[in-house]
Amino acid sequence: MLRNQRGVTYLMVMFAIVLIGISLSVVGKQWVIAAKRDHEAELLFRGTRIQNAIARYAADYEIMKGIRSHRYPLNLEQLTQRPRRYLQAVYKDPITGQDFELIRVGAEVRGVRSRSKARPLDRVRFTDAETYDQITFQAIQPRGQPCRTVPNPINPLNPLGAGPC
């Protein structure tokens, strides 16, 4: 009788170990998905911050052109320097943990993108992207006021001459 109970106890312990293993694998998969969603949210936050900082840097060109020769920054470190800090720190890509890939036009930095070739989970925010490296955070070219033909305040007989445009 005692011998039969030992076999049942052994089977119950083995069954409990299998159940614990299965539950840990399910929890592990859920943890990986939650971590990936956090990384995607951080990618969106950091990319948007850099995009806005580049746009503000470019918008200040008219004011700062006496001390800088280019509209857009040449690297991300310029966004963190004085006299005006557009970005608190140079962020790393949260997906890869490395530096963002810079989107350049000539020597000027216009935006950033991730270097990762993995597929994003969030299909709502990243609708058109098959991989993370297709998601770009790029500053939009600043545009001035639309030009309108208004009467010339200096010479009303010549309405097209030397107006506000």
Closest CA to 52 of 134, 138, 132, 126: 138
The pLDDT profile of the chain, 165 residues, written as one tens digit per residue, is 555 566 788 888 899 999 999 988 888 888 988 999 999 999 999 999 999 999 999 888 888 777 788 889 999 998 998 878 999 999 999 999 999 999 998 899 999 999 999 899 888 888 888 999 999 999 886 565 555 555 556 666 665 555 454
Q: d(Cα 141, Cα 50) in Å, to the nearest integer?
A: 15
HEC string of 12-80 equals HHHHHHHHHHHHHHHHHHHHHHHHHHHHHHHHHHHHHHHHHHHHHHHHCHHHHCCCCCCCCCCCHHHHH
Q: Which amino acid is at 78?
A: Q
pLDDT given for residue 143 in this prediction:
60
Sorted by sequence, the CB contacts under 8 Å of residue 52 that are 6+ apart come out as: 139
pLDDT given for residue 157 in this prediction:
63
Q: Looking at residue 100, what DSSP letter applies?
A: P
pTM of this structure = 0.70
pLDDT given for residue 4 in this prediction:
59
